[in-house]
């Protein structure tokens, strides 16, 4: 007997990998002439609803439904309908990936409960694909919507009314299918709907649309290209933020905004305009300091002309703060950059030196940019070299007359062999002009070229890493990417990605050829 027993650990058996099984619904799935206020859907085991606020899509949308269980397990889902349902309408409840068993979280994927308030179930479909205008991959959880074309339809309906039918790509698809539709003519659009309210808010949401109306039934498959609209330029109420400084909040293309003081002041007053680094804010610096109760400004820009008033206060002047923008490693052929809190307007080069590690002085030039508050020191950089940039007191003077203190910075360069280059050729190009952009895998622009006919390019001094190349068809030749505009029915400029990820290694000079396909 003492040799029969053996110590061990009780095992729970194999892991449950089977999703819940639908048992029945009350009323039954695909019920017609529905006139109730409650739906109950039963399963063979305890289930829970996970993230159903994002996963559950009801089409046509209902504003007032109560779904349970929430936070607890149950063998059924209860849907309480508080809305007044439309007559002769098929409703679809698509639960996405939200229904999971309680123990292991196995999902019952894309279960649909369908019922009709009429005598039959609508069965037509519209299918398509979601793409991104500028990025290689589209967003997830994109809402695709149909609006019925009737006597009440206008293009502006997307800003204020719910669509007739709706679906969502959820988190794993780039394709969509709107199902159980009735025959008719519709406008189709898609939103990256940040507030999940089925209405377009240009400041938050990406949008895609097809210019022409579609007719259902259809065998066509539609491509919807998501883009961010360019926000119309506007300014917010200005604030007096320092002696001789007024700050303006700006939305839209901040570089296009111009500000002019229109209050009657002494003719000796001069000003300069600067952008706060990485912020949608403009600083208007002026001197000498004046102390009226208020000042009037006019702001102008594309489709903008606004008169603004700022209340003046007694405030201390800003101090001059200098910070280094260049990292410890200075890339070859790049300038050394400094940022400042107030624009630099005067430079005394006799108080500045650039010295190599062997104590030999290096010739340099300096330029300043008041708008970006950037000072650039340019000099010929050699490989594998160390440099000291020395600025003695009062070398830099800002707009307000403040002088810099002693500044000293050290940087190093690498060897050319530490970088890679890229030869890139576009073949079969016939839709000039193009903007050719070399971007990181995060789609940050590293270098770009504009071409009206050139097809061979070299991108030099690239840090080792993985890169992508994209071509923007610059339809209007303004050398910048132009997004779309929903109300103007304008699509964004077309962007084509080279399908291969380019691996740049130190000392390498790969050659890539992008052969464009003809239409």
**Measured distance CA(37)–CA(496) in Å, rounded:** 50
CA angle 390, 329, 507 (to 5 degrees): 140
The residue extents of the domains of the chain are 22-116, 124-226, 234-311, 322-414, 418-515
CATH of 322-414, one of 1.10.1740.10, 3.40.50.10110, 3.40.718.10, 2.60.40.1220: 2.60.40.1220
User: Nearest to residue 309, comparing CAs of 251, 232, 240?
Assistant: 240
Residue in 296, 280, 290 with CA at minimum distance from that of residue 315: 290
Coil/strand/helix, residue 55: helix
416: three-class secondary structure by DSSP: helix
Q: How many residues does the chain have?
A: 519
> Are the C-beta atoms of 317 and 289 separated by less than 8 Å?
yes
- Select from 124, 142, 121, 122 the least CA-distant residue to 132: 142
436 contacts: CB under 8 Å, gap ≥ 6: 424, 426, 448, 449, 450, 451, 457, 469, 470, 471
Cα–Cα–Cα angle for 191, 192, 193, rounded to 5 degrees: 80
| pLDDT per residue of the chain (519 residues) written in tens, 0 to 9 | 455 555 656 565 567 678 999 999 999 999 999 999 999 999 999 999 999 888 999 999 998 999 999 889 999 999 999 999 999 999 999 999 999 999 888 999 889 999 999 999 999 999 999 999 999 999 999 999 999 999 999 999 999 999 999 999 988 779 999 999 999 999 999 999 999 999 999 999 999 999 999 999 999 999 999 999 999 999 999 999 999 999 999 999 999 999 999 998 887 899 999 999 989 999 999 999 888 899 999 999 988 999 999 999 999 999 999 999 999 999 999 999 999 999 999 999 999 999 999 999 999 999 999 999 999 999 999 999 999 999 999 999 999 999 999 999 999 999 999 999 999 999 999 999 999 999 999 999 999 999 999 999 999 999 999 999 999 999 999 999 999 999 999 999 999 999 999 999 999 999 999 999 876
How far is 496 from 437, CA to CA, in rounded Å? Answer: 10
Which H helix or E strand runs over 53? helix 52-55
Query: What secondary structure letter does DSSP report for 417?
Result: G
CB atoms within 10 A of CB 326: 18
Copy the structure tokens of residue 168: 């969502």
CATH numeric code, 234-311: 2.60.40.10
The CATH number of domain 22-116 is 2.60.40.1220: yes
CA 113 to chain centre: 35
* pTM assigned to the model: 0.86
How many angstroms separate the CA atoms of 189 and 207, rounded?
7
Contacts of 203 (CB under 8 A, 6+ apart): 231, 251
**371 and 388 Cβ atoms separated by less than 8 Å:** no
| Structure-token pair, residue 32 | 């017609």
- Do 120 and 173 touch, CB atoms closer than 8 A? no
Q: Give, in words, the CATH class of 124-226.
A: mainly beta
* Domain 124-226 identical in fold to domain 322-414: yes
Give me the residues paired with residue 72 across strands.
none
Confirm or reject CATH 2.60.40.2470 for domain 418-515, answering yes or no: no
171: CB partners within 8 A, 6+ apart: 97, 140, 141
Q: How far apart are CA 89 and CA 80, in angstroms?
A: 18
| Rounded-to-integer distance, Cα 448 and Cα 451, Å | 10
How far apart are the C-alpha atoms of 196 and 284, rounded to whole Å?
Answer: 38
Instruction: State how far the Cα of 119 lies from the Cα of 116, in Å rounded to an integer.
Output: 7
């Amino acid at each position: 007997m003492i040799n029969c027993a053996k110590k061990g650990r009780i095992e729970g058996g194999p892991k449950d990998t089977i999703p819940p099984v639908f048992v029945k619904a009350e009323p039954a799935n695909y019920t017609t002439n529905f006139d109730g206020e409650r739906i109950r859907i039963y399963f063979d085991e305890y289930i829970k609803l996970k993230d159903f606020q994002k996963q559950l899509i009801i089409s046509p949308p209902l504003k007032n439904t109560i779904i349970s269980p929430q936070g607890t397990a149950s063998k059924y889902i209860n849907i309480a309908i508080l809305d007044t349902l439309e007559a002769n309408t098929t409703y679809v409840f698509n639960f996405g990936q939200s229904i999971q068993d309680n123990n292991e979280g196995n999902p019952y994927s894309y279960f649909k409960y369908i019922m009709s308030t009429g005598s039959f179930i609508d069965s037509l479909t519209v299918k398509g694909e979601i793409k991104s205008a500028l990025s290689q991959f589209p967003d997830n959880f994109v809402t695709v919507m149909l609006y019925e074309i009737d006597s009440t339809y206008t293009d502006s309906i997307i800003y204020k009314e719910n669509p007739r039918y709706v679906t969502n790509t959820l988190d794993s698809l780039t394709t969509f299918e709107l199902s159980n539709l009735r025959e008719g003519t519709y406008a189709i659009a898609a939103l990256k709907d940040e507030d999940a309210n089925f209405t377009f808010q240009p400041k938050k949401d990406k949008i895609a649309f097809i210019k022409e109306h579609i007719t259902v039934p259809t065998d066509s498959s539609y491509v919807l290209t998501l883009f961010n609209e360019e926000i119309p330029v506007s300014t917010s109420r200005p604030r007096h933020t320092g002696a001789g400084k007024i700050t303006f909040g700006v939305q839209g293309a901040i570089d296009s905004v111009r500000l002019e003081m229109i209050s009657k002041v002494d003719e000796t007053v001069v000003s300069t305009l600067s952008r706060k680094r990485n912020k949608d804010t403009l600083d208007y610096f002026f001197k000498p300091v004046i102390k009226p109760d208020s000042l009037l400004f006019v702001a102008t820009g594309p489709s903008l002309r606004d008169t603004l008033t700022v209340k003046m206060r007694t405030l201390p002047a800003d101090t001059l703060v200098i910070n280094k923008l260049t990292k410890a490693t200075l890339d070859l052929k790049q300038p050394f950059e400094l940022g400042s809190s107030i624009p630099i307007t005067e430079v005394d080069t006799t108080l500045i030196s650039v010295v190599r590690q062997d104590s030999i002085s290096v010739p340099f030039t300096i330029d300043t940019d008041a708008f970006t508050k950037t000072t650039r020191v340019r000099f010929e950089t050699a490989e594998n070299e160390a440099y000291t940039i020395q600025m003695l007191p009062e070398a830099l003077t800002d707009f307000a007359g403040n002088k810099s203190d002693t500044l000293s910075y050290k940087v190093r360069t690498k060897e050319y062999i530490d970088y890679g280059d890229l030869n890139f050729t576009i073949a079969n190009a016939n839709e000039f002009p193009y903007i050719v952009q070399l971007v990181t895998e995060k789609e940050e622009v590293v270098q770009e070229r504009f071409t009206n006919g050139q097809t061979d390019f070299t991108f030099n001094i690239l840090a080792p890493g993985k890169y992508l190349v994209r071509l923007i068809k610059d339809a209007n030749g303004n050398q910048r990417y132009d997004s779309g505009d929903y109300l103007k029915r304008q699509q964004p400029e077309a962007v084509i990605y080279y399908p291969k990820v380019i691996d740049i290694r130190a000392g390498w000079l790969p050659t890539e050829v992008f052969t464009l396909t003809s239409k």
